[in-house]
Amino acid sequence: MRFLSILLLCLITQSALSQQTKVSFRLMELMSQSENSNKIISVLIKGDFSKIAPEIEKTGGTVKFKSGNICSASMRVSSLRTLTEIKSIERIEEGRVQVQTLNDKMLINNRIDLIHQGVSPLIQGYDGSNVVVGIIDTGIDFTHPDFKDSLGQSRVLWVWDHLLANAGNTPQPYNYGQEFSKLDIDAGNANAHIDQTAHGTHVAGIAVANGDTMIAFKGAAPKADIIAVSLNFNQADDTWLSSIADAVNYIFNKADSLNKPCVINISAGTYLGSHDGKDLQAIAIDNLIQAKDGRMVVAAAGNAGNYPLHIQHQLNNDSSFTWFKKTSANPIFIEFWADTADLNNVQFTLGADQPTPYFEDRGQKSWKNISNFLGILAVDTLWSYSGNQIAIYQTYGQLIGNRYSMTYVIIPDSTTYFFRLMSKGIGKFDSWSFELVSSGLPSAITYPAIVSYQLPDFNQNICSSFQCSDIVLCAGQYVSRNNYIDVNGNLQTLAITEGALGASSSRGPTRDGRTKPDITSTGEVTMSALKLSSAAWFLANQPFKLAQGGMHIRDGGTSSAAPAVAGSIALYLQSNPTATWVDIRNRVLLCSKTDNFTGTNLPNNNWGHGKLDAFNMMIGCNALPVKENENSAFMIYPNPASDYLTIQLRENKNAQQVEIYSTLGQLVYSKMVSPKDSSLRIPLDNISKGVYVAIVRFENQAPSSKTIVVE
């Protein structure tokens, strides 16, 4: 279009051109394009105001103000040519300037702004149109202008609130909570729903805010449709995780009804569980993603990076112990996990110590193996050596596939006791808890047994369940910025380094040793939508947290990083609505960027594969596009596999090559196929656990592919 404008400008007569040199280049473009004739624009005009003002009014324009020998006016583009003939006018420039979209640097740092602008080699700009972004969180303030369209109507298509009592609008077949549609919202009939804590509104703004209230805080996918689910956080972890699986299914089904691709953001999680992504809720979410092309889920890694909540007892014919203490009104909860081979030769027990006035061993149960607890929910009592009751506790052991889980629920008689998880033998197990004792430990002189103490560490403090999946993208966070102007115009500066890993960003690996998080994005100090009913309180009590305009607030953590990733994926789904989860994952991870903070030793358990580079993801970089064939020309079994897998070729006699790729596009196995081969048995000794894509290449036929899982 710009090239065409230049050609048209060449047709202007020389006399006219001599007059129009006083006009800016942008105005020349507008004047050259007939479709702009009736467009109303703002201009700044330099010259003799007494002569200029009447001429503006003659053309039907409006003078807005005068500043020295410059006036500001609005008028039709078609009237500009008349003004250029007036000798008293020295210069005319367009009043509009190119506004840089900042969203407190979120769009720039993640290179999302380049996608909005359609920078080459993109053939157009992308804004998330015709894509659904799901927000599973604390709810959403759908009254916020950031979530409305140009007509003032809601972009939120549905809200499912898990906290509301069953009613006529309870969605089926889930049979809990209440559902509100866009029609309900626009008609004012959805006021029973509120964002519980404002967290969900802030998260949604990063992903999908339209930027109308303040362009600086535009989201990654400003034209995407929105579906929000408000979770009930007052549930037990397993029930809560099931409700998330319900929410994922709900959102994907709604998107299907619209025939639109969908990416879901979950900035919530639990730190308890197996941390291997093999719980049923995680597997159910994996299956929902894989069930149809054009689907993806992004989750926040967690904000426990600076909290020692993990222990690992690694035993080699020795012993270890770790203390747990009561920190809330709830019972003490101890749960540890291990692969079966790692726990079969381990014995463990529970003891108690009195930490004051000095550390003293007060009681201990007998040593047992996991086999003594499997499938048995039992209640027992821990007695002191002198015969006094110290605590009542429950035990339960589970064998789940190739994993063991062991649980203690302790109700102590006194909050002063430290409870001792003890182990001996050969093997290892992992446990996660916020009740681990990591400070105030006695010296070896006063308490010799302390030499066997397993100190809690800062590793593997990532959230459990779906965050540990190979299919869900898990996002860590880095510092987006370290200063901003608050609502009162004051510069707020924080003692953090822009671009550095956020101190709270949870780290991996998973319990079974896989790298997590997958990617990092902007988190710390991100400005986004504020729950409007909270604005008055913040203005009165913490105005330094509010951005200019008073409708956006500072927040951060991985909760802010994940929606930047999800919104970027929405842009990719706009351009490729049937992209597979493998293709999406490849693009996000392989097309990431590195810098002095990430280093080049990637992937690792701090940064994952580096920092999100949405523009590079969009143009493809070196990612391997893989689309699984529904009617593949081969079969794979067993799947999942552990020791080996068999590829059974069907009736095709022209297979030439079998290849196995990681989800990052790395070739891990390749073999030529003989015409005599009807099947191939592939050992998995040198292939680590994870998700892979098997491809069979044929002569004169498109390749066929299938997803496989190695356990």
Residue 594 within any structural domain of the chain = yes
For residues 602 and 703, membership in a common domain is answered with no
What's the rounded Cα separation, in Å, for the pair 628 and 205? 34
For residues 111 and 82, membership in a common domain is answered with no
Higher pLDDT pick, 97 / 692: 692
**Structure confidence at residue 21 (pLDDT):** 54
Least confidently predicted of 20-24, 180-184, 379-383:
20-24
Cβ atoms within 10 Å, residue 63? 17
Residue after which a domain boundary falls, among 36, 60, 94: 94
Question: Is 321 in contact with 420 (CB distance < 8 Å)?
Answer: yes
**Structure confidence at residue 652 (pLDDT):** 52
Structure tokens at 422: 């003890």
For residues 79 and 129, membership in a common domain is answered with no
Helix (H, G, I), strand (E, B) or coil at 129: coil
**Structure confidence at residue 630 (pLDDT):** 45
Q: Which of 329, 271, 330 is nearest to 301 (CA)?
A: 271
pLDDT tens column, 572-611? 999 999 999 988 998 899 889 999 999 989 899 999 999 9
**Structure confidence at residue 30 (pLDDT):** 75
Cβ atoms within 10 Å, residue 66? 14
**Structure confidence at residue 398 (pLDDT):** 92
pLDDT class for 213, splitting at 50, 70, 90? confident
> Cα dist. 341→348, 449, 498, 643 in Å?
15, 28, 44, 15
Contacts of 363 (CB under 8 A, 6+ apart): 351, 352, 382, 383, 384, 385, 390
Question: Is 562 in contact with 298 (CB distance < 8 Å)?
Answer: yes
Residue 470 within any structural domain of the chain = yes
What's the rounded Cα separation, in Å, for the pair 606 and 517? 7
Q: Please provide the DSSP assignment of 172-187 as one string.
A: TTTTSSEEEEHHHHHT
Return contacts of 600-607, CB within 8 angstroms, 24+ apart. 603/515, 603/518, 604/515, 605/459, 605/507, 605/508, 605/509, 605/515, 605/516, 605/517, 606/476, 606/501, 606/505, 606/507, 607/476, 607/501, 607/517, 607/520
**Structure confidence at residue 17 (pLDDT):** 35
Residue type, 39: K
Q: Which of 229, 199, 214 is nearest to 560 (CA)?
A: 199
Residue 294 within any structural domain of the chain = yes
For residues 234 and 111, membership in a common domain is answered with yes
For residues 278 and 159, membership in a common domain is answered with yes
Assess whether pLDDT exceeds 60 at residue 191.
yes
**Structure confidence at residue 665 (pLDDT):** 64
Stretch 612-621: mean pLDDT: 89
Higher pLDDT pick, 619 / 372: 372
What's the rounded Cα separation, in Å, for the pair 126 and 320? 56
Secondary structure string (H, E, C) spanning 78-103: HHHHHHHCCCCEEEEEECCCCCCCCH
**Structure confidence at residue 701 (pLDDT):** 66
What's the rounded Cα separation, in Å, for the pair 135 and 273? 23
Q: Which of 471, 459, 475 is nearest to 513 (CA)?
A: 459
Higher pLDDT pick, 213 / 48: 48
Stretch 666-676: mean pLDDT: 78
**Structure confidence at residue 130 (pLDDT):** 97
Residue 459 within any structural domain of the chain = no
**Structure confidence at residue 709 (pLDDT):** 79
**Structure confidence at residue 666 (pLDDT):** 73
User: For the domain that residue 675 is a member of, what is the CATH number?
Assistant: 2.60.40.3080
For residues 145 and 261, membership in a common domain is answered with yes
Residue after which a domain boundary falls, among 43, 69, 94: 94
pLDDT class for 5, splitting at 50, 70, 90? very low
Assess whether pLDDT exceeds 90 at residue 66.
no
pLDDT tens column, 75-85? 888 888 888 88
H or E element, residue 558? helix 558-575
Question: Is 185 in contact with 156 (CB distance < 8 Å)?
Answer: yes
Residue after which a domain boundary falls, among 563, 592, 619: 619
**Structure confidence at residue 85 (pLDDT):** 83
pLDDT class for 702, splitting at 50, 70, 90? low
Cβ atoms within 10 Å, residue 310? 22
For residues 391 and 469, membership in a common domain is answered with no
What b/e readout covers 218-241, taking b as 16+ CB neighbours within 10 angstroms? bbbbbbbbbbbbbbeeeeebeebb
User: For the domain that residue 576 is a member of, what is the CATH number?
Assistant: 3.40.50.200
The interaxial angle of helices 558-575 and 199-208, nearest 10 deg, is: 30
User: For the domain that residue 50 is a member of, what is the CATH number?
Assistant: 3.30.70.2980
**Structure confidence at residue 232 (pLDDT):** 93
Assess whether pLDDT exceeds 50 at residue 19.
no
H or E element, residue 427? strand 418-432
Q: Which of 510, 639, 661 is nearest to 589 (CA)?
A: 661
Contacts of 569 (CB under 8 A, 6+ apart): 263, 296, 298, 473, 584, 588
What's the rounded Cα separation, in Å, for the pair 237 and 250? 20
Q: Please provide the DSSP assignment of 132-165 as one string.
A: EEEEEES---TTSGGGB-TTS-B-EEEEEETTSP
pLDDT tens column, 397-449? 999 889 999 999 999 999 999 999 999 999 999 999 999 999 999 999 999 99
pLDDT class for 18, splitting at 50, 70, 90? very low
Residue 626 within any structural domain of the chain = no
Question: Is 645 in contact with 668 (CB distance < 8 Å)?
Answer: no
pLDDT class for 16, splitting at 50, 70, 90? very low
For residues 297 and 331, membership in a common domain is answered with no
Residue 629 within any structural domain of the chain = no
The interaxial angle of helices 558-575 and 581-590, nearest 10 deg, is: 120
pLDDT tens column, 243-254? 999 999 999 999
In this structure, what DSSP letter does residue 104 have? G
Residue reference for tokens 């290849």:
659
Mean pLDDT over the full length of the chain = 87
pLDDT tens column, 312-325? 999 999 999 999 99
> Cα dist. 622→120, 592, 667 in Å?
17, 11, 13
Question: Is 322 in contact with 420 (CB distance < 8 Å)?
Answer: yes
For residues 212 and 187, membership in a common domain is answered with yes
Structure tokens at 316: 């080699």
Domain that holds residue 389: 310-452
Tell whether omega for the bond before 448 is within 30 degrees of 0, i.e. cis: no
Assess whether pLDDT exceeds 70 at residue 48.
yes
Residue 38 within any structural domain of the chain = yes
The number of folded domains in the chain is 4
For residues 324 and 432, membership in a common domain is answered with yes
pLDDT tens column, 513-551? 999 999 999 999 999 999 999 999 999 999 999 988 899
Residue 127 within any structural domain of the chain = yes
For residues 473 and 599, membership in a common domain is answered with yes
For residues 340 and 415, membership in a common domain is answered with yes
Q: How many CA atoms lie within 13 A of 218 on its CB side?
A: 22
Stretch 641-652: mean pLDDT: 75
